[in-house]
C-alpha cells in the first residue's frame, strides 16, 4: 500500500546541486514527490510510494548524494498519517525567496573575500620568488663580471707575449 513520507536530509546538502540529484533519483524510481531547500539548511522531501520503494529511494539518496559531494549527516523519514496529492513527476521546488537569495549572496561575498585574500597571499609569494630570482641574477652578473675581468687579464698577458 502506498503511503506518503516526509523525509528530511541534514548536513551539507544545500548549494551543491543536491536537489537535482534527489529529483533525478525520484524520477528514476517513478514515484510522485517534491524536493525543496528548507530555511534551516536541510533539504526536505515529500513523496509517496510503497515502504520498500521509499527505503530503496532513501538509500539511493545516501549513496548518490555522497557521490555528488553532499555531506549527509542524517536522513530522517516520517510516514505521514494522511495522503497528499503530489505531482506524478518527481519535481524540484525552487525556493529562492528573499532569505535564500540573501543567504546565497552572503556565501558568494564570503567566497570572493576568501579568493581575494588567497590571491594576495599568492601574489606575495610570487613577489618573494621574483625577489629571490632577481638576487640570484645579480649574483650571477657579478660572478660573470669578475670572470670576464680575469679572462681579459689573461688575454692581455697572452697578447703581450
Beta-carbon contacts of residue 86 (< 8 Å; ≥ 6 apart): 4, 32, 33, 34, 46, 47, 48
Q: Is 19 a catalytic residue?
A: yes
Q: What is the mean pLDDT of residues 136-154?
A: 89
Beta-carbon contacts of residue 50 (< 8 Å; ≥ 6 apart): 1, 2, 3
- pLDDT, one tens digit per residue, over 1-25 is 799 999 999 999 998 899 999 999 9
3-94 has which fold?
Answer: Alpha-Beta Plaits (3.30.70)
Which span out of 22-31, 83-92, 109-118 was modeled with the highest average pLDDT? 22-31
CB 63 within 8 A of CB 9: no
Catalytic residue among 19, 119, 138, 160: 19
Least confidently predicted of 24-33, 69-78, 147-156: 147-156
- pLDDT, one tens digit per residue, over 41-53 is 999 999 999 999 9
Catalytic residue among 37, 62, 64, 109: 37
Cell numbers found for residue 58: 532513501
pTM for the structure as a whole: 0.62
Element containing residue 131 per DSSP (H, E)? helix 98-160
Q: Is 56 a catalytic residue?
A: no
pLDDT band at residue 97 using 50, 70 and 90 as cut-offs: low
The residue extents of the domains of the chain are 3-94, 96-161
For 7-28, the DSSP string reads: EEEEEE-SSSSHHHHHHHHHHH
In 15-136, where do the E strands start and end? 33-37, 43-49, 71-79, 91-92
The string over 112-138, giving b where at least 16 C-beta atoms fall within 10 Å of a residue's C-beta and e elsewhere, is eeeeeeeeeeeeeeeeeeeeeeeeeee
Which pLDDT does position 99 carry in this prediction? Answer: 62
Amino acid at each position: 500500500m502506498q503511503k506518503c513520507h516526509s523525509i528530511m536530509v541534514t548536513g551539507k546538502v544545500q548549494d551543491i546541486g543536491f536537489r537535482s540529484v534527489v529529483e533525478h533519483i525520484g524520477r528514476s524510481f517513478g514515484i510522485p514527490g517534491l524536493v525543496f531547500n528548507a530555511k534551516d539548511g536541510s533539504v526536505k522531501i515529500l513523496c509517496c510510494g510503497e515502504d520498500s520503494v521509499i527505503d530503496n529511494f532513501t538509500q539511493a539518496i545516501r549513496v548518490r548524494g555522497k557521490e555528488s559531494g553532499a555531506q549527509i549527516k542524517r536522513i530522517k523519514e516520517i510516514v505521514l498519517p494522511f495522503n497528499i496529492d503530489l505531482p506524478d513527476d518527481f519535481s524540484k521546488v525552487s525556493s529562492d525567496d528573499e532569505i535564500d537569495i540573501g543567504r546565497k549572496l552572503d556565501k558568494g561575498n564570503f567566497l570572493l573575500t576568501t579568493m581575494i585574500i588567497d590571491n594576495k597571499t599568492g601574489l606575495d609569494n610570487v613577489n618573494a620568488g621574483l625577489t629571490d630570482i632577481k638576487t640570484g641574477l645579480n649574483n650571477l652578473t657579478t660572478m660573470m663580471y669578475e670572470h670576464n675581468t680575469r679572462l681579459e687579464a689573461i688575454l692581455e698577458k697572452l697578447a703581450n707575449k
